[in-house]
Chains A and B, each alone.
Chain A
């Protein structure tokens, strides 16, 4: 089996003069959960559309399990399962018909379809609703049905575009546990996009941070976070950010200061947050900067995002 589930080389997509993807080099190893983290409009859906053979790239190449998404599109389609960002379900069909129809499109024999439907309905807990028309489903049920549909063909690579967007916290956690299960129990390779840090933190073995069509950094979440330093003091407020940077950086034990003035946020990385906090607060609040809120924490993926993109991750 190929080592990389998904691999792109200098992938570019342009719409007229707009560059949606700018030389993306992504590597998602087989058997892992890879999360593409980025704000809306960063190019995540465009990238997935190319990987799932819906649209061709402008230049560069992309492979799924070693198959080129343009030249070997049919091979790619046979091996992937997909859920799209928007709900793409036919409201008139029942859940069972939706799954059965999907299986028939992939030419699964009737016996296999029956068996898979029985298993998947159990997995996504739709047993009671499976024979009702989809239009009677709640948002969370529709998402679970879509997940089941993506799994009907027992794909080697599962591609999920914003799998929990618009879901309530309980349904989000449910979807997360299905995704984790699929990966752990069946060794399924999973590529998902999200604009929610907590989702990437909860699921991903590997994270790729994408912004303005560029894949800025990829790696294990723990490594990315550890590279920032041990503690971060997050300061919210307003005033002269440039001055704040100069003052704070001069304090003993402060390794780095990052700011996003538009968001009123400053991140001060230190060797020991609780020890340096008084000195930091003293220094910055005496210098024309009004502090509204201070939190002391270990760095998070959100801080990684700010570190690499220069802006905080917003919805």
Chain B
């Protein structure tokens, strides 16, 4: 869809121009890895044979993509509240392309952040598998994951009446996503009931797949299943966003 591409370039144009956002995202990535990684490494030397830095890096990357999705939703909310979205609505473009444009720019920012985090992580002693195809696969899955969470954030942004309301709703699913996942601890150490919850969380599948693809850790979940779960998640959440967006327009 051409309009998606046009809206993506507009967001990218603003992203590159706004040095604060650019530098902010870059510093955030570095701080996450350095502070969190170093702190935790003092306590835990290795998890299931791989060093903790390598173990935790995919989790941090996934979670920063979540942060990016929240920011992407904010962009839509801001454009909605300020009326800028009317320019899109009166143009001969599909409603979905407006949402996809936002999701695509979120995914791009997530990839940018992930690349930075990987570099910092490597400097901090994480050991990447020598597997360029795997790296590429990991980035593709990350992009799909970022689109998925953009969908949820955009859906909430489509119906929120204020910025405070949006953040309140977003917070509800942000925290469980961090702790109810395999980001900080391996799936195998969790009790059965918690494993069940963690397996509902799409972040779990991304993190497991990235560990396997980019860091050479043995996957605990089949790769194809992780890919499938992420793809279904992205499609479902964009459908969710579109239905809420359209509902907000009918009012």
Interface positions of A (Cβ within 8 A of B): 15, 52-56, 74, 77-78, 80, 82, 84, 86, 88-90, 92-93, 97, 101-102, 104-107, 149
Q: Which residues of B contact A104 (CB under 8 A)?
A: 6, 9
The answer to the question of B161 belonging to the interface, with a C-beta cut-off of 8 Å to chain A, is no
Contact of B92 among A15, A55, A78, A86 (CB under 8 A): A78
Compute how far the CA of A116 lies from the CA of B251 in the bound complex, rounded to whole angstroms.
36
Q: Distance (Å) between the CB of A105 and the closest chain B CB?
A: 5
Number of B residues whose C-beta is below 8 Å from A? 24
Compute how far the CA of A97 lies from the CA of B17 in the bound complex, rounded to whole angstroms.
12
A84-B89 contact given A55-B250, A92-B14, CB 8 Å threshold: no
Q: Which residues of A contact B83 (CB under 8 A)?
A: 84, 86, 88
Interface positions of B (Cβ within 8 A of A): 2-3, 6-7, 9-10, 13-14, 17-18, 82-84, 86-93, 249-251
A77-B91 contact given A55-B250, A93-B14, A105-B6, CB 8 Å threshold: yes
Q: Does the CB pair A56–B13 fall under 8 Å?
A: no
Q: Does the CB pair A101–B92 fall under 8 Å?
A: no
Q: Does the CB pair B92–A74 fall under 8 Å?
A: yes
Q: Does the CB pair B6–A55 fall under 8 Å?
A: no
Q: Which residues of A contact B10 (CB under 8 A)?
A: 90, 93, 101
Q: Which residues of A contact B87 (CB under 8 A)?
A: 88, 102, 105, 149
Q: Distance (Å) between the CB of A263 and the closest chain B CB?
A: 32
Contact of A54 among B6, B7, B17, B86 (CB under 8 A): B86
Having A56-B250, A90-B14, A105-B6, one finds 5 other A-B pairs with CB under 8 Å, namely A15-B251, A52-B90, A84-B83, A102-B91, A105-B3
18 A-B pairs in the complex with CB atoms less than 8 angstroms apart: A53-B90, A54-B89, A80-B90, A82-B90, A86-B83, A88-B82, A92-B14, A92-B18, A93-B10, A97-B13, A102-B87, A102-B91, A104-B9, A105-B3, A105-B6, A105-B91, A105-B93, A106-B92
